Chain A
Amino acid sequence: MTRLGRTSVWPGIALAAALLLVCLVLSLVLGPAPLSLSQLWHFVTSGPVPGNLANAIFWQIRMPRVLLACLVGAELAVAGVILQDLFLNPLTDPYVTGVSSGAALGATIGIVLHWSGLPWTTMLALVGGLATLGIVWMAARRRGRIDIFVLLLAGVTISYLASAMVTVLMIQGNQDMRAIVYWLMGSFSGRGWAEVEIALVAVPFMIVPLFFTREMDIMLQGEKRALELGVEVERTKRLLLVTAGVLTAIAVSVCGIIGFVGLVVPHIVRLVVGPSHRSLLPVSLLAGAALLGIADLLSRTVIAPNEIPVGVVTTFVGAPLFVYLLRRGRRA
């Protein structure tokens, strides 16, 4: 167990990477039409073949879905780590900034409008999420610095406002109620390569924080102390906030609001590898991807051809694991 020391971060990362690899293989192999490992190899090497049903299941449905679940899991976990540290609050999840509610409003508008041609629901969700980030940001900016406390309050307020508007739209657009409710619950069902492409935009935003692990470690001791130790607090704070906001907005726009991952993955990883961000960030990224990948696998296979909402599975998988680690962590 490496705690706070400058011991190598690689064992933790290697373990999480191995976990993710196992999760990827399982997710690609298992499903209503299971594959053998040799079939998996065959499909991967042959690439998409138009007109072949088994190939279409693999390349058009299963592959993008698995990749999307893993990408979103990584995005939410990284955003969770950043925001828990910035707010110095263990109950923080990526949705407190109001970004998810803004995205929900955008998605709802997209669903109600019934425009065709482009994935409007996803695009408007992204716009709504980013717009909310901008509004909250402006509310919290005072004399050139960002007041974290005001940011939190502004985020909560915007969330309420956006939720109220979503409810109004839901009641107005009675026929779209089902689509809106399912969007809010979060799901990877029916998602394809278009959503994967959007989620991939977030990759640079997952990598940037990895270059600020020293600053993040120091800022855990409070802004004042960090200033004394020569950290450019405001600059770092801004960069991290935008990063977490964009990650959340992208994640929510492609799959709706999936709870628990962004809250609990950072905690679980902290219990295992300790609070140093050199391990915490990359391991959370990989573990978030693995957890949501596994959760989606269960979501689509346990009661197939029906599906369990993935948010329900993340909670069922994550909650017992979290409680176990909390108890073990206390004893250690």
Chain B
Amino acid sequence: MSTTRPRRGFAAGIILAAIALAAVGLTACGSSTSSSSSPSASTAAGPIAVTDSAGNTVTLQQPATRIVSLAPANTEIAFAVGAGSKMVAGTTYDDYPAAAKSLPKAGDFSNPSVEKIASFNPDLVLITGGVQAPLRAKLVKLGMNVYVIDPTTYAGVMTDIANVGKLAGTSTQAQKVVASMKQAQADVQAKVGSLATKSTFIEIYSKPLMTAGTGTFISDMVGMAGGTNLGDSAGAGFPNFSSEVLLKDDPAVYIADSGSMSKPGDLSTRPGFSSLTAVKDGHVYVIEDSLIARPGPRLALGLEQLAKMIHPEAYTTP
């Protein structure tokens, strides 16, 4: 590689960008094992102990009263389990529910400041994996209780929701959320469970073409919705995907994440895409990003939408 200065400037820019890029993928990405924990009936009086997505045990002497969230998904979970009033800070990207927008901000998700977080004096910090993984040690060192929400399956999301409910002392409400997610799963299973699976491609990003591979809750949900996730063949996480392979494997259904910068109308203008069966037959859909890429309670809605997109025939009233 050239050692001339302009290239070095670019290299620096690219490295900077790559760091922030990792953050963008975070909402959805996860590689750790999500282990469920069901401590025998932790009463409100005794200490509460749960295991987070990263396998750490988190113990609180009493339910949390000052919660800081460092990801939009975490904020959503906190509000959903009825701990919204205990939230003292969120991130600049929080947009759901509406009340989350007016919360004080602890940072911008890819670049959280330890000082800023500490200034809120939280008794529970909800962080995520990926770029935020190194943050955990720093916060724990300062004596903070940190719970990592980084699930890789739909069931893992439910476990995290139940655990946050326990930590916040709002288990009853959390169990209701989990029950409704389970109900959505059962409803979808009833509709599409007996149908032949359809080859489905999920477009996470269009430039370059990127999909959701194995070990992601998106891939998990495609399977639950009666699809075979084509992206699984490209490996784990969020791999790039060759358009040649896409044409060769020719998925029956093409679903673009709304954050992928593409519109259904754009697809047929991409080289070769007009020959895709999904494009010719009109099985191209756009799904709202926060419904499939944000590990929170609204994944239930995303799951139902996926099922309707993959198996519309199961949802048409005869």
Select which of B1, B259, B280 is within 8 A of A259 by beta carbon. B1
Picked from B7, B12, B243, B275, the residue with its CB within 8 Å of the CB of A190 is B243
Q: Which of A38-46, A55-63, A143-151, A276-284 contacts B (4 or more CB under 8 A)?
A: A55-63
User: A274 contacts the other chain (Cβ, under 8 Å)?
Assistant: no
Distance, CA A307 to CA B208, complexed state (A): 10
Contacting residues of chain B (6-32) with chain A, CB-CB under 8 angstroms: 6-7, 9-10, 12-14, 16-18, 20-21, 24
A33: Cβ under 8 A from any B Cβ: yes
**Within 8 Å CB of B209, what residues of A?**
189-190
Q: Which residues of B, 234-293, contact A by the 8 Å Cβ criterion?
A: 234-235, 239-248, 250, 259, 261, 266, 270-272, 274-276, 280
| Cβ-based interface call for A290 (8 A) | no
Compute how far the CA of A159 lies from the CA of B235 in the bound complex, rounded to whole angstroms: 37
**A interface residues (Cβ-Cβ under 8 A, vs B):** 31-33, 50-53, 55-57, 60-62, 64, 91-93, 95-96, 98, 100-101, 104, 111, 114, 116, 155-156, 159-160, 163-164, 166-167, 170-171, 174-185, 187, 189-193, 257, 259-260, 263, 300, 304-307, 315
**Does any Cβ of A come within 8 Å of B4's Cβ?**
yes
C-alpha gap A251/B131 in the complex (Å)? 34
- How far is B243's CA from A93's CA once the two chains are assembled, in angstroms? 31
A260 to B241, CA, bound (A): 25
5 pairs from A and B in contact (CB 8 Å cutoff): A33-B247, A91-B2, A95-B2, A160-B6, A187-B208
Chain B: interface secondary structure?
helix
Count residues of B near A (Cβ-Cβ below 8 Å).
47
Nearest CB of chain A from residue B263's CB, rounded to whole Å? 8
- Taking CB atoms and an 8 Å cut-off, the chain B residues in 204-219 that contact chain A are 205, 207-210
B119 near A: Cβ within 8 Å? no
Interface: B233 (CB within 8 A): yes
The answer to whether the Cβ of B3 comes within 8 Å of any Cβ in the partner chain is yes
- Report which of A96, A156, A181, A305 forms a contact with B241, defined as CB distance below 8 A: A305
Q: Are A33 and B244 in contact (CB under 8 A)?
A: yes
Interface centre among B21, B233, B266 (most CB of A within 10 A): B21
Q: Is there contact, CB below 8 Å, between B24 and A190?
A: no
Q: How far is the CB of A167 from chain B (nearest CB, A)?
A: 5
Q: Which residues of A contact B16 (CB under 8 A)?
A: 167, 170
**Other CB < 8 Å A-B pairs besides A53-B276, A61-B243, A101-B9, 5 of them?**
A163-B9, A178-B205, A184-B10, A259-B7, A304-B242
Complex CA–CA separation, A178 to B270 (angstroms): 19
B141 adjacent to chain A (CB < 8 Å): no
Q: Interface of B with A (CB < 8 Å)? A: 1-7, 9-10, 12-14, 16-18, 20-21, 24, 205, 207-210, 233-235, 239-248, 250, 259, 261, 266, 270-272, 274-276, 280
Q: Which of B6, B12, B24, B208 contacts A101 (CB 8 A)?
A: B6
Distance between Cα atoms of A57 and B272 in the complex (Å): 6
Residues of A contacting B208 in the complex (Cβ-Cβ under 8 angstroms): 182, 187, 189-190, 307
Q: Which residues of A contact B5 (CB under 8 A)?
A: 156, 159-160
Tell me if A53 and B248 are in contact (CB < 8 A): yes
Provided the pairs A57-B244, A57-B248 are in contact, do residues A177 and B14 lie with their beta carbons within 8 angstroms? no
Q: List the B residue with the shortest CB-CB distance to A94.
A: B2
A156 contact set on B, CB distance < 8 A: 4-6
Q: Shortest beta-carbon distance, B200 to chain A, in Å?
A: 15
A192 touches B271 (CB 8 A): yes
Known contacts A179-B207, A305-B233; A160 and B9 CB within 8 A of each other: yes
How far is A320 from B65 in the complex, measured between Cα atoms in Å?
60
CB distance from B73 to the nearest CB of A (A): 17
Contact B244 A96 (CB under 8 A): no
Bound Cα distance A50, B134 (Å): 52
User: In the complex where A182-B208, A190-B208 touch, is A260 in contact with B1 (Cβ < 8 A)?
Assistant: yes
Q: Are B6 and A95 in contact (CB under 8 A)?
A: yes
Q: Is A166 in contact with B13, judged by CB distance below 8 angstroms? A: yes
Known: A306-B241, A306-B242. A257 touches B250 (CB 8 A): no
Report Cα–Cα, A170/B272, bound state, in Å. 30
Q: Are B13 and A170 in contact (CB-based, < 8 A)?
A: yes
Q: Which 7 residue pairs across A and B have the least CB separation, nearest first?
A: A159-B6, A192-B271, A60-B272, A56-B275, A305-B245, A163-B9, A179-B207
Residues of B within 8 A of A55 (CB): 275
- CA of A82 to CA of B82 in the docked complex: distance in angstroms? 68
Alpha-carbon distance between A306 and B246 when the two chains are bound, in angstroms: 11
Residue with the greatest number of chain A CB neighbours at <10 A, chosen from B9, B259, B270: B9
B275 touches A53 (CB 8 A): yes
Residue of A nearest to B6 (CB): A159
Contact A163 B10 (CB under 8 A): yes
CB neighbours of A171 from chain B (8 A): 20
Complex Cα distance, B210 from A257, in Å, reads: 20
Question: In the complex, are the beta carbons of B20 and A174 less than 8 A apart?
Answer: yes
B242 proximity list for chain A (CB < 8 A): 32, 189, 300, 304-307
| Cβ of A94 to closest chain B Cβ, rounded Å | 9
Say yes or no: B13 contacts A184, CB within 8 Å.
yes
Q: Which of chain A's residues have a CB closer than 8 A to the CB of B240?
A: 189, 306-307
A60 nearest in chain B by CB position: B272
Report the Cα distance A181→B16, complex, angstroms.
10
**B14 contacts which chain A residues (CB < 8 A)?**
181, 184-185
Nearest opposing residue in chain B for A104, CB measure: B10
Chain B residues in 8 Å Cβ range of A53: 247-248, 250, 275-276
Q: Contacts of B24 on A, CB cut-off 8 Å?
A: 174-175, 177-178
Q: Which residues of B contact A57 (CB under 8 A)?
A: 244, 247-248, 272
Bound-complex Cα distance A184 to B13 (A): 9
Using known A-B contacts A91-B4, A257-B10, determine if residue A179 contacts B261 with beta carbons closer than 8 Å: yes
Contacts of B275 in A (CB 8 A): 50-53, 55-56, 60
Which of B234, B248, B271, B280 is close to A306, meaning CB atoms less than 8 Å apart?
B234
The answer for the CA separation of A2 and B7 in the assembled complex, in Å, is: 34
Complex: A183 Cα to B14 Cα, angstroms = 10
